[in-house]
Structure 1
Amino acid sequence: MAERPKTVKCLVWDLDNTLWRGILSDGDDVRVTEDVRKVIAELDRRGVLQAVCSKNDHDLAWERLERLGVAEYLVLPHIGWGPKSDSVRSIAERLNFAHATMAFVDDTPAERAEVSYHLPEVRCYDAEQVLDLLNLPEFSPDTITVDSERRRAMYQAGFRRDAERERYRGADEDFLRSLDLWMAIDGATEDELSRVEELTLRTSQMNATGVHYGDAELRRLTADPEHEVLVVTMGDRFGPHGAVGLVLLRRTAPAWHLRLLATSCRVVSFGAGSVILNWLVDRAATAGVHLTADFRRTDRNRMMEVAYRFAGFDDRPCACHDGPDVASGDAAGVERLHLVPDPRPGPTTMSLAAVDLVDGTRR
């Protein structure tokens, strides 16, 4: 059976004779057809970000996009006269997306060829394929979550947050405090399970093992009294970040086993991974248990390894762990890390509300 193509996270649109009909610089009264509007709106609902890469006068083109009522759907517009491959690369870097999750649509074969030559992993489409995009598997995620439908708004809030960071002249910690950040850690609800599964699929840089947990497996684990399936949500004064992390934990009397920690790349700069790990270590210390964690090196998750090591995990075996070093799913290359927990202070740059794994209350 053919492998399902990687889901597209961002589609980059050309404008002339692609997103709209006509050529703006030729003085055409360009317009967006109703069918294209439906494609834009549906991709947005599915959580696919959309950007612009067009050889045009920026101010004139953006004013026209606003007048046509589609500018609100578009992030990171690159409208100018440079090579389009440079623009697509810049968009991917700003979003922190792998090239294999990017797509580009243009009516000109030479422009598609230029992007393909310099960025071979980016998928390119002819403008004639626009109305078929919604039927392609790479644009059809298995599930559409609450966070999918507001992903574009969350990224736009993130760009405003980044702009304020650039203007801020104080220390980084002071800036983080100025955001009024908050984090909540709680058991996954029925509505959140699809987002939890999505996190195991979409997150690669901040995923400790790369093991995918499907909906059926997650439901089984939520019903298992030994397991905790915890969802991490965050927000600040700019708005909610949505569900940004997953903690999959097996609790037994001698030890707690962290089977998976995955966090969104969007919250790396806030130290989310360290906050979660320190909270977990502190709770394990209170419970008087040993702590183990699964980790598998990939070509993208070096930052997660640093977070584990910085929290105090190492690969020295300990007699008080919870049995054979076996992880669920595809366990090839998985290491079992160990830590003897000690009390940890709470975060200083955000407020934290979390279920207490010791007595089940919220604190």
Structure 2
Amino acid sequence: MINIPNELVRQQSVEKQIIKCVVWDLDNTLWHGVLLEDKQVDLRGNIIDIIHTLDSRGILQSIASKNDYDIAMNKLVELGLQDYFLYPQINWNSKSSSLQEIAKIINIGLDAIAFIDDQLFELEEVKFSLPEISCINASELAKLLDMPAMNPRFITADSRQRRLMYLSDIQRQNAETEFVGTSEEFLATLQMSFTISTAQTEDLQRAEELTQRTNQLNTTGYTYSYDELNYFRQSAQHKLLIASLDDKYGSYGKIGLALIECQASLWTIKLLLMSCRVMSRGVGTIMLNHIMNLAKTNHARLCAEFLPNNRNRMMYVAYKFAGFKEIGKDGDLVILENDLTRIQSFPDYVKVEILH
């Protein structure tokens, strides 16, 4: 068992660049030729392998192309590739505006996007307007799969299913758009099942991935390695909890993680995170209220650490909404405490299962 002192753990907030979505241009990038000008366009020789490999690694893909939408989509259908590209932006807008729209819809940071185009003008426009985005010339495609940012440390079951999970999200969004009634009434139709369990060895790869990929709904931004998480899993002074969500459309996968340091009379939430994909499902407070219940049952005070950054204010709001109050600071670290007098019950529209 490895020994991880607190001082070391607190330094685990440096983010390694991880590409979550590759956005492709079409003409002379995905294929040779210009769709609206040439009689025939042909896929680049290695493009299918690249698309399939990125997909198998859990890296999402989309399109930002100046083209006629119907003609381009018909070509992608003909090539059997349409399902690989989420929320394609095929229009006559600037590439930077299309990329911003993709980031907004998928709900990821711009620094998690790589954009591939053959035109220097388009690459420079994006670099100037959105410098956080990694711009790659189509002439460099042979090197793409070897880039460190394109190679996650682990490829988990959730990684391999990520695109399919997003396709299920599109089904949910379409159903919500067509639904007549309140938000809670719609959520009740999803038949959601939220499971919280103590993390097991088989959960640790996904747990590490969650700490590295989840930046917005993350209370501290700390990242933990597999070995560190395994230490916490076995430690009598810590609780490592992982959450998953399913509904009638399929599984969201493992979408939440919490690390609690448990002293005799004081529990401290060192990390609480939730995947952005479940933000609109009304389940974000379930894990937090479960932890509050556990602390109260064990007659312990409950504190939480919060490290503010430019992305995670929503988690601070979640803490305040749950009744946490600031009691001090440790450098940039905000310390909050909950008096455990108003723990919310779980929402009626979701079935919650606690596994020990």
TM-score, normalising length: structure 1: 0.89
Q: Name 2:353's counterpart in structure 1.
A: 353
SS at match of 1:247: strand
* Aligned amino acid, residue 334 of structure 1: L
Q: Name 1:338's counterpart in structure 2.
A: 337
* Aligned amino acid, residue 90 of structure 2: I
1:45 corresponds to 2:56? yes
Q: Distance in 1 between matches of 2:165 and 2:146?
A: 26
Q: Report which stretch shifted further, 335-344 or 91-100.
A: 335-344
1:288 aligned to which of 293, 299, 305: 299
* Aligned amino acid, residue 351 of structure 2: S
1:113 corresponds to 2:112? no
1:229 corresponds to 2:240? yes
1:218 aligned to which of 226, 229, 233: 229
2:85 aligned to which of 71, 74, 82: 74
Q: 1:337: how far off?
A: 1.4
Tell whether the 8 Å contact from 2:15 to 2:223 is kept in structure 1 after alignment: no
Per-residue CA deviations over 1:154-181 (Å, capped at 9, x if unaligned) read 1121122122222222111111111111
Q: Name 2:10's counterpart in structure 1.
A: none
Q: Distance in 2 between matches of 1:5 and 1:288?
A: 39
Q: 1:284: how far off?
A: 2.3
Q: Name 2:164's counterpart in structure 1.
A: 153
SS at match of 2:42: coil
* Aligned amino acid, residue 209 of structure 2: E
1:96 corresponds to 2:107? yes
Q: 1:142: how far off?
A: 1.8
Q: 1:4: how far off?
A: 8.3
Equivalences for residues 294-333 of structure 1 within 5 A? 294-316=305-327, 332-333=331-332
* Aligned amino acid, residue 159 of structure 2: S
Q: Distance in 2 between matches of 1:223 and 1:264?
A: 24
SS at match of 1:82: coil
Structure 1 residue ranges, 4+ long, deviating more than 3 angstroms after superposition: none
Tell whether the 8 Å contact from 1:246 to 1:261 is kept in structure 2 after alignment: yes
1:199 aligned to which of 200, 210, 218: 210
Tell whether the 8 Å contact from 1:281 to 1:344 is kept in structure 2 after alignment: no
Q: 1:66: how far off?
A: 1.4
Q: Distance in 1 between matches of 2:75 and 2:337?
A: 58
Q: Distance in 2 between matches of 1:72 and 1:332?
A: 47
Mark the CA change 1:4 to 1:337 in structure 2 (over 3 Å): closer, same or farther. closer
Q: Distance in 2 between matches of 1:82 and 1:344?
A: 46
Unmatched 5+ residue regions in structure 1?
Answer: 318-324, 326-330
Q: Distance in 1 between matches of 2:307 and 2:169?
A: 30
Q: 1:8: how far off?
A: 1.1
Q: Distance in 1 between matches of 2:344 and 2:126?
A: 49
Tell whether the 8 Å contact from 2:24 to 2:61 is kept in structure 1 after alignment: yes
Tell whether the 8 Å contact from 2:200 to 2:233 is kept in structure 1 after alignment: no
After superposition, the CA RMSD in angstroms is: 1.8
Q: 1:332: how far off?
A: 4.8
1:126 aligned to which of 110, 125, 137: 137
Tell whether the 8 Å contact from 1:5 to 1:137 is kept in structure 2 after alignment: no
Mark the CA change 1:46 to 1:282 in structure 2 (over 3 Å): closer, same or farther. same
* Aligned amino acid, residue 309 of structure 2: T
Tell whether the 8 Å contact from 1:39 to 1:131 is kept in structure 2 after alignment: no
Q: Name 2:257's counterpart in structure 1.
A: 246
Q: Name 1:321's counterpart in structure 2.
A: none
Q: 1:340: how far off?
A: 2.0
Q: Distance in 2 between matches of 1:352 and 1:5?
A: 34
Per-residue CA deviations over 1:20-62 (Å, capped at 9, x if unaligned) read 1222112332222451111101111111110011122211211
SS at match of 2:174: helix
Equivalences for residues 44-63 of structure 1 within 5 A? 44-63=55-74
1:170 corresponds to 2:181? yes
SS at match of 2:132: coil
Tell whether the 8 Å contact from 2:15 to 2:212 is kept in structure 1 after alignment: no
Q: Name 2:98's counterpart in structure 1.
A: 87
Per-residue CA deviations over 1:299-320 (Å, capped at 9, x if unaligned) read 1111000101111111237xxx
Q: Name 2:148's counterpart in structure 1.
A: 137
Q: Distance in 1 between matches of 2:232 and 2:173?
A: 37
TM-score, normalising length: structure 2: 0.91
* Aligned amino acid, residue 338 of structure 2: L
Q: Distance in 2 between matches of 1:301 and 1:294?
A: 13
* Aligned amino acid, residue 352 of structure 2: L
Tell whether the 8 Å contact from 2:18 to 2:152 is kept in structure 1 after alignment: yes
